[in-house]
Amino acid sequence: MELRDNDETHKYMLMRGRYSYLRDILYDRMTKIIGSPNNISHSSICAEAEKFGPYYTEGYWGYRQYDVLKAHYILLWGADPLAANRQVSYYSKVWGDVVGKATIAIVEPRLSASAGKADEWLPIIPGQDGALAVAIAHILLVQGLWYRPFVGDFTDGVNRFVPGKTVDESGFEEIYTHGVVRWWNLELKDKTAEWAADITGLPAEQIQRVAEGYGNAAPHAISWVGGGPCMQVRGGYSSMACHALNGLVGAADNVGGTLVSNKEYTGKFPAPDEFMDEIAKKGKKHEKIDQRGRLHLPAIKSGKPGSGVVTNNAADGILNEDPYDIKVAIGYMNNFSFSAPQPERWERALSKIPFLVHITTNASEFSWFSDIVLPDTHHMFEKWGYVKSIGNGYRHVTLMQPIVKNVWDYKIDETEIPWLIAEKLAQKGFDNLLRHFQTYQDPETGKAPADEKEFALYALKLVTQNLWDPSQYKGGDKFSGWEEFSKIGVWNSDPYPFRKRWGNMKTKTGMFEFYSETLKAALQSHAANHGVTVNEVMKATNYLARGETAFIPHYEEPFTLGDEKEYPFVHVDHKSRLNREGRSANCTWYYDFKDLDPGEELWADVAKINPIDARKLGIESGDRIKITSPTGSLICTAKHWEGVRPGTVAKCFGQGHWAYGRLASEEFGKKPRGGNNNDIIPAQYEALSGSSAYYGVTRIKIVKI
């Protein structure tokens, strides 16, 4: 209320971590009606740059699903389906069959769980994925392995893609793609296997073999883009280059290829507009605390400059009071002071906020800085909500329902808590939020919610009505009503409509764009916002591309911090198959089964060093070592391991908690168990998507202690 009295509602901030799809109540509606622009999600410390490539080639901003059981070749880029990325449970279930049916090649500096069972492991130099991707594209075109029913062909049927030679665009008739010849001329014509071999550190023969194997499997040939090549400072174009291979082989939207989400029919919550008074409207107009949309941070999600979040930069916004100070903040199911690169900035930023609230199931490093910790319900047993997932060509909308009695007095984060806050605000004279929430009526009875429990249930019934109400039926599973839906608990979509998007993609041209008119428009729009050229945008965002190259998938040298002489190794961050969103570090099984991750040790946090490198340093397995980057250091245990490329050191993310429970730290609040990778990862960004860079971003040195 003080913020309202002082016209400072924009100084309220909501930080979102893991969520259900009732998120918009707390995240969007409440923030807007209070009058703040600052709803900050975790998305850009997740994998936004991974979505960049698919969006600027085929107009899809989201995680893909892969038709793995019908694929003949699967080329994985920094993705380990058995450990991380999406739908791990589904891929773990079917991967045994997939290994038997398809050729699998995996590009990653470290031998991952999936790589251990792959036909080809390409231990690439970190950050050089784009070079490999354009070389594979080059080979596909030179060898005539592109999928003609999708891409089209030369009008006379003669392949003119000859290394080093430009091609006349008018001689090629595209069908469902746009700009393949221009891509060749601008980027691909000189990118031979030999050229890529020098840059990637991979044998030219292997590059040639993988490219031909992949092309021969067209169109059932998946190029699976994980976070690895994309969540890098210059990863946006690698994301495009790796994903563009799906276009060349006709795998996009095709059987045995890469698929988007099936359609689902959940609805939206009532609009907040009429409950936003003048104070709120004025407050919401302020610039966001993460500084998105500035020249150096375009964050052009879905083609709109400044529409993507730059989560990790919010810490700097708060610290520097730029554009202003934050006075009140709520975080829920997040732990930015551990999970974001250079987390000490978050520690200082959170300490600076005068009133900070954390809603969480388990106290964490974020809670440590909070004035109030509100215990959250457990999503599996105590919460109303729903989640959406995709896999195997289907979409599932799954209900979360309270099935046990709460032992203590804790509330549901996304529904009950905002309702109770709304009640308190109403008591203090601001009832707009409560009146808005009262419009969430039970679709069955028309009754307005009278308390937080009714509100949680009615909100869920309201947004899922199209799924369970026979009179609103739009597709997929059909139910007789809420009772049956809540009993079954899941709605399944219709099967995937293959090739329906061919010629109808949400790009500027409707086609799969190798020359991205969609990205061109987005970059031009951002440049115009700042009165500069696209070249100046490229420069401000640390990209090397100039001119037309900015609009095509292309190779960029990686941007890696640290002088090679002082920091001789490149850090390779990776995830554990036991991490599960990072919330397992206080569980004994995390440590008891840690060797399920290749190269890992039980009850230890190891940095995996190639024995060739380790011997030069006189480091043995089991030695305690200090790893230092230009921005921080951590202490862990050394492990000799051949499954990591010489010149790189791989360390799994997940340990290094200092306030996450009795087991997660060696001495609670004082001494972490293991080291947090984020302590050595600098706060750098893939600025076009706003993503934090985790991979190929820093060099490190190792000292035995």
Partner 1 sequence: MNMEDLAAYESMRTQAYRLFAECYRLPETELDKTVGRLRRELEGMGSASCTPAEKMYQACGADRLETLKVDYARLFVGPYGLPAAPYGSVYLEEGRKIMGDSTIDARRMYMEAGVDIAAACKDAPDHIAVELEFLHLLSFREVEAMRRGDMNDAALMIGEQAAFLARHLGLWVEPFARSVEKAAETAFYRSLGEATRIFVLEDQDRIARGPSGLFR
**What residues make contact with partner 1 under the rule CB under 8 A?**
363, 367-368, 373, 375, 406-410, 659, 668-669
Contact in structure between 391 and 377 (CB atoms under 8 Å):
no
Rank residues 376 and 605 by Cβ distance to partner 1 and give the closer one: 376
Q: How far is residue 387's CA from residue 383's CA, in Å, rounded to a whole number?
A: 12
Cα separation, 417 vs 358, in Å, equals 12
Rounded Cα–Cα distance for residues 542 and 109 (Å): 24
Residue with Cβ nearer partner 1 (158 or 407) = 407
Task: Tally helices (H) and strands (E) across the chain.
Answer: 25, 28
- Packing angle, helices 235-248 and 129-142, rounded to 10: 20
> Smallest distance, Å, CB 478 to partner 1?
38
> Closest CB to partner 1 among 403 and 407?
407
Measured from the CB atom, the residue of 305 and 402 that comes closer to partner 1 is 402
In the bound state with partner 1, the residue whose beta carbon lies nearer, of 213 and 402, is 402
Three-state DSSP at 416 gives: helix
Residue 282 CB, shortest distance to partner 1, in Å, is 34
Minimum CB separation from partner 1 for residue 23, in Å? 23
Strand residues in 478-623 grouped as ranges (E): 490-492, 512-513, 569-574, 606-609
Nearer to partner 1, 411 or 608 (CB): 411
Min CB(573)–partner 1 separation in Å:
28
**Cβ contact 501:492 at 8 Å:** no
Q: Which residues contact 585 (CB under 8 A, 6 or more apart)?
A: 654, 655, 657, 660, 661, 663, 664, 673
Per DSSP, the three-state class of 285 is: coil
State the minimum distance, in angstroms, from the CB of residue 363 to partner 1. 3
Nearest of 210, 181, 217 to residue 196 by alpha carbon: 210
CB of 677 to partner 1, least distance (A): 24
Q: How far is the CB of 351 from partner 1 (least distance, A)?
A: 16
- What minimum distance in Å lies between the beta carbon of 328 and partner 1? 18
Nearer to partner 1, 189 or 358 (CB): 358
Query: Is 194 within 8 Å of 211 (Cβ atoms)?
Result: no
Q: Residue 361 or 524: which CB sits closer to partner 1?
A: 361
Nearest-angstrom CA–CA distance, 405 and 411: 12
Q: How is 65-76 classified by DSSP, letter by letter? A: EE-GGG-SEEEE
Nearer to partner 1, 408 or 589 (CB): 408
Q: Which one, 369 or 430, has the nearer CB to partner 1?
A: 369
Q: Contact at 8 Å (CB) between 692 and 42?
A: no
Cα gap 49→38, rounded to integer Å: 21
Least distance from C-beta 656 to partner 1, angstroms? 18
Quote the least distance from Cβ 188 to partner 1, whole Å: 55
Pairing assessment for the beta strands 648-652 and 685-686 based on DSSP bridges: unpaired
Tell me, rounded to whole angstroms, the distance of Cα 400 from its chain centroid.
Answer: 23
